[in-house]
Amino acid sequence: MRMRWIAAGALIAAVFAAPSRAQVTLGQIDTFEDGTTQGWGVGAGGSPVPPVNIATGGPAGAGDNFLELTSLGGAGGPGSRLVALNDAQWAGNYLAAGIGTIQMDLNNLGSNDLFIRLLFADPVFGPPTNIAITDAFFVPAGSGWLHATFDVRPSSLITLLGTANNALSNATELRIFHNPAPDFPGPPTGIPPIAATLGVDNIAAVPEPSAAAFLTSSGLALLMRYRFKRARRS
């Protein structure tokens, strides 16, 4: 019995002593030029249509990689809803990092209109205690590439559980999802099923608008352009 307690104590100590995940940083950008999904997935439940890296056809045209998200629609079940999450480089403290907006390029490759939102939540060892989502960005069917800006300041988010400040400062996941209604998962059936294909590229962490205007003149735009080009070369 004593050995069991020792083993359990060692396991708990190891969990809390484990290195922390990568923290979200101002200016980071997912370009998908490395041929991977850069940590974007569908969660523990799995899906018959997980995100995939497409090697050409991004906003820059031929040879520009992008992430493709697909959902099947229907009556529900795995893969029926358009949602992807990242609990790696997009986890962390958005407030401390000074991130005010998240920008990305979106392309609706399907035949149904989409309302794309972002979600921040703080689940660690159980259900989240803080959830906040953004307003929707409308992406019409057959849109071509559009540049989307999501205001992620606490005052601009829709709080579904707890507080937006806590959801941003202790985020363990960032989700991209479709829902015309400002809710997640939302009654009575959660995120609505939809048959959809969405292209996503150049997901970037940017300061709030007033700071962005100042930092653009002092080098942030050059930094992000350099990171984008370096990622494409690699």
Q: Does residue 169 form part of some domain?
A: yes
**Residue 9 in domain:** no
**Which positions ≥6 away from 39 have C-beta within 8 Å?**
86, 87, 88, 89, 90
Domain count, the chain: 1
pTM of the model: 0.81
CATH code at position 146: 2.60.120.260
pLDDT of residue 78: 87
pLDDT reading at 217 higher than 80: no
Rounded mean pLDDT of 61-71? Answer: 98
In a domain, 197, yes or no: yes
Average pLDDT, the chain: 84
Q: Report how far residue 139's alpha carbon sits from residue 131's, in angstroms, rounded to the nearest whole number.
A: 24
pLDDT over 80 (residue 181): yes
* Cβ proximity of 138 and 233 under 8 Å: no
Whether 156 contacts 135, CB under 8 Å: yes
211 or 19: which carries more pLDDT confidence? 211
Assigned domain for 15 exists: no
**Distance of alpha carbon 119 from alpha carbon 184, whole angstroms:** 8
pLDDT at position 80 is: 92
Query: What pLDDT does 126 receive?
Result: 75
CA 65/CA 140 separation, integer angstroms: 22
- Tell me, yes or no, whether 8 lies in a domain: no
CA 39/CA 4 separation, integer angstroms: 35
User: 80-103 as b/e, with b when 16 or more CB fall inside 10 Å?
Assistant: bbbbbbbbbbbbbebbebbbbbbb
Average pLDDT over residues 99-116: 98
Q: What is the pLDDT of residues 162-178, one digit of tens each?
A: 999 999 999 999 999 99
35-55: average pLDDT: 90
